Structure 1
Amino acid sequence: MNGQKGTGTRTVQGQLPPATATIIRTDLVQSKTVDGRLDFAQRRAVKSPVAGTVTKSAEEGKTIRAGQRLYERDARPVILMYGPTPAYRTMKKGDRGPDVLQLERNLRDLGYGASLYVDTRYDAGTEIAVKRWQKSLGIEAPDGKVSHGDVVFQPDKVRVVSADAALADRIGSDSPVLTVASLKPVVRSQLDQTDAVLTSSGTKVEVTLPSGRKAAGEVSGTVRPDASGAAAAGGQDTITVEITLDGVSSLAASEDPKAAASVRFVSESRKGVLVVPVEAVIALRGENGGYGLQLVQGTTTQTVRVQTGMTADGRIEVSGAGIAEGMKVGVPTG
């Protein structure tokens, strides 16, 4: 028997293992696959600040842009406009504030700004522009005031996810009239609390959509279970994760939002490493300890010390002097 003290290397003639495997170079990926549901980011409810009756309900699935009707209350259209500040009052001549600035910007962009100086003041020019805008909506007797509830400010165009109030329903500030979301498609899925490491923003995800198409993405964060509208409630033992998809902006048109998607979370990956079956690694005895492989060359075996790394799918990363791709290693049978 030949060997080197302290290296864990020894050569033995004629003691072959019951089976062998080949050292290969490949990618290792640690992952977990769960079900998910297609949805849209930034879901939020739209409520009416004043009481009334729905005389034209929202259209589910429709994309609404600035100047377009979300729904009608008491035969008066409720219009989407862009801006971060919510509508919180009736706006009229003499008022000042960021909501007035938003209103004027929208009126200008919609083509009613000939008389406008866009600032935070609701002046005579604003009143003229509002009357023109009201007339275009078919409002009888335009008064130049924007009543509380006539406009809904949102950051950008929205998709109507659901019409929460039907035709002829009475509405008020306590119940949503409709639910909207951004046009950005996302997938939401649930993970166990024990998989919390996978919920970190930026975790890479591979999604197989209901149609079979594949899309790459990453975890953008976690959401409250009752905010997803897509995944079944899983109680306190689960975490609802939102996944942003890469380059799939028109996804909703061709995918079934009610069908399950397959979501593969990639927690760690190693590219182009040498791997063997986990069972090929043996514990080395002696004061140096560590791990080794039994290399098989013809009728000769040689035990060599190796460093082990990541494991995935029954394989383990190995490195060390004396091993290379294509070598045979001993493995147990059964």
Structure 2
Amino acid sequence: MSGDESGASAAAASRLVRRRRTVLGTAAVAVALSVGGLLGSSWVQSPSQAAADTRPPRASVITAPVVERVLRSTVVLRGTFSDGRTVSAVPTSVALTRATSQPSQLMVTGVYAHAGQSVRAAQVLVEYSGRPVFALKGTLPAYRDLTFGEEGKDVAQLQDALRSSGHPTGSDAKGVFGTGTEHAVERLYAKLGYPVPVNAAGPQSGSGTAVDGGDGAAGAAAPPAAPAAHAMVPASEVVFIPSLPARVVSVPVRVGDPVKGSVVTLARGGMTLTGYLDPSQAGLVTAGMRAQVLAEATGAQADGTVESVGAPVTPDSGGAGDSDSQKTAGGAAYLPLAIRPAAAWDTRFAGQDVRITITAAATDKAVLAVPQAAISAGADARTTVTVVAPSGVQHVVPVRAGVSADGMVEVTPLDGGRLAAGEKVVVGQ
């Protein structure tokens, strides 16, 4: 090939290379512009698109299942047990006996009872300076020592108590402390195992009249006979209680303690339970409703019924709102509830603050129930629920509402409506 032909071929090849570069560069620019346009379009929205993107999502319904169960509507409140009226033994002296000397001081020498214990007649509860403290049945308090020759209602009460304890008082007139009553007292103390207390200041056994010496002259006057020592019942040793067996409220002493006050306190009546109902719940509780009582501290449980609902009590009203009750009720106004036990209160309830659960309403058997939020009342005063089918279709079922408890309401379908446990009802959106 000549030199001219070779130069022409090289020039042609060079032009072809330049054309290819130009085409490739143009294509690259086009691709870059396309990609940039796509990226730019993703950041630019039309007004209509912006409005569509900020529109709230389509509303959806919240559902809950229809259930079948027994409903119980309850009211829970606090209450306290009180001992009612109590009587205490406060020894102030030690009686004389025929067998022992007079102690120099009052000292607790025996404790035989404890709080909550049931006490029968003529049972020794505490001993002080070797002398017993026991209970007998009676409504009058022991306000004086009872001894031979005394008369009165308290003597008649002692006679009744002695006879009921198996110690007859013979032919003594009612209310007269005679020989028969004295012998009954002696038998009582013999059974207790203690010397009989006596009162030496009895009637004189001698007249003290001058004695004729035989010559007509009056001889020296005979010395008066010593007073007879008669059995007695000291006020410091007996506690009269209206009904027996009684219950020990407290024994605040131990052996070796000096006697400075009460050595034992007994309840004159059974324990009473008072509940403290919030006035806002007044319409929920009426007499006759069932109540369950629980003492969390001791675990004691019992059933009862509401006996009565009292008038509102405020911290300043006095009466039933005494200071102890106001402390229990938190110083707020309350309605006092009297709770009657199904059986005698367990002694473990004594003095306890308790939880009272009152059943205000209940169904006799399992019923259809829905959450309260599912119940709707229309302008026509009909009560309905809205049922959601598995397909999402909704339909309204007229119902009659019944007992409500724990956020659920008993429902009965009306007008041929159908409702079954497990179906879904609308409770919100």
Q: Deviations over 1:249-308 (max 9, x none)?
A: 6x45xx6979875432333334335422101111213xx234212245565543233333
- Are 1:163 and 2:251 an aligned pair? yes
Partner of 1:78 in structure 2?
A: 133
Partner of 2:265 in structure 1?
A: 179
- Aligned ranges 1:65-144 → 2 under 5 Å: 65-73=120-128, 75-113=130-168, 115=170, 119-137=174-192, 138-140=194-196, 142=198, 143-144=230-231
Q: Is contact 2:290-2:359 (8 Å) kept?
A: yes
Structure 2 residue ranges without an equivalent (≥5): 1-59, 95-105, 199-229, 311-319
Structure 1 counterpart SS, 2:146: coil
The alpha-carbon distance between structure 1 residues 289 and 135, as it changes in their structure 2 partners (threshold 3 A), is closer
- Aligned ranges 1:5-16 → 2 under 5 Å: none
Give the counterpart letter for 1:302 in structure 2.
Answer: H
The alpha-carbon distance between structure 1 residues 226 and 66, as it changes in their structure 2 partners (threshold 3 A), is farther
Whole-Å Cα distance in 1 between the matches of residues 238 and 324 of structure 2? 24
Q: Rg bigger for which structure?
A: 2
Whole-Å Cα distance in 2 between the matches of residues 20 and 201 of structure 1? 36
Cα distance, 1:82 vs structure 2: 1.2
Q: Deviations over 1:187-246 (max 9, x none)?
A: 666554545667866442223454767532234578766678xx8573354567665543
Partner of 1:19 in structure 2?
A: 63
Whole-Å Cα distance in 2 between the matches of residues 27 and 296 of structure 1? 24
Q: Is contact 2:66-2:424 (8 Å) kept?
A: yes
Whole-Å Cα distance in 2 between the matches of residues 177 and 220 of structure 1? 35
Q: Is contact 1:17-1:330 (8 Å) kept?
A: no
Whole-Å Cα distance in 1 between the matches of residues 232 and 153 of structure 2? 16
The alpha-carbon distance between structure 1 residues 212 and 282, as it changes in their structure 2 partners (threshold 3 A), is same
Partner of 1:148 in structure 2?
A: 235
Q: Number of residue pairs matched?
A: 307
Partner of 2:52 in structure 1?
A: none
Partner of 1:305 in structure 2?
A: 398
Whole-Å Cα distance in 2 between the matches of residues 326 and 245 of structure 1? 40
Give the counterpart letter for 1:89 in structure 2.
Answer: R
Partner of 2:381 in structure 1?
A: 289
Q: Is contact 2:292-2:356 (8 Å) kept?
A: yes
Which of 330, 336, 342 is residue 234 of structure 1 equivalent to? 330
Bigger helix share:
2
Whole-Å Cα distance in 2 between the matches of residues 148 and 182 of structure 1? 18
Q: Is contact 2:70-2:362 (8 Å) kept?
A: no
The alpha-carbon distance between structure 1 residues 87 and 185, as it changes in their structure 2 partners (threshold 3 A), is closer
Whole-Å Cα distance in 2 between the matches of residues 23 and 148 of structure 1? 69
Q: Is contact 2:86-2:268 (8 Å) kept?
A: no
Q: Is contact 1:207-1:214 (8 Å) kept?
A: yes
Q: How does the TM-score come out when normalised to structure 1? A: 0.70
Cα distance, 1:51 vs structure 2: 6.3
Q: How does the TM-score come out when normalised to structure 2? A: 0.57
Partner of 1:30 in structure 2?
A: 74
Give the counterpart letter for 2:237 in structure 1.
Answer: D
Whole-Å Cα distance in 2 between the matches of residues 78 and 146 of structure 1? 11
Structure 2 counterpart SS, 1:60: coil
Give the counterpart letter for 1:282 in structure 2.
Answer: S
Q: Is contact 1:279-1:332 (8 Å) kept?
A: yes
Q: Percent identity?
A: 25
Structure 2 counterpart SS, 1:307: strand
Q: Deviations over 1:10-49 (max 9, x none)?
A: xxxxxx9542421535233232255x67x57536241538
The alpha-carbon distance between structure 1 residues 140 and 281, as it changes in their structure 2 partners (threshold 3 A), is closer
Partner of 1:44 in structure 2?
A: 86
Partner of 1:7 in structure 2?
A: none
- Are 1:331 and 2:426 an aligned pair? yes
Cα distance, 1:313 vs structure 2: 0.7
The alpha-carbon distance between structure 1 residues 216 and 118, as it changes in their structure 2 partners (threshold 3 A), is farther
Structure 1 residue ranges without an equivalent (≥5): 1-15
Whole-Å Cα distance in 1 between the matches of residues 173 and 283 of structure 2? 49
The alpha-carbon distance between structure 1 residues 86 and 236, as it changes in their structure 2 partners (threshold 3 A), is farther
Which of 336, 339, 342 is residue 246 of structure 1 equivalent to? 342
- Are 1:55 and 2:145 an aligned pair? no
Cα distance, 1:333 vs structure 2: 4.7
Q: Deviations over 1:42-73 (max 9, x none)?
A: 36241538567453465323432100123345
Partner of 1:3 in structure 2?
A: none
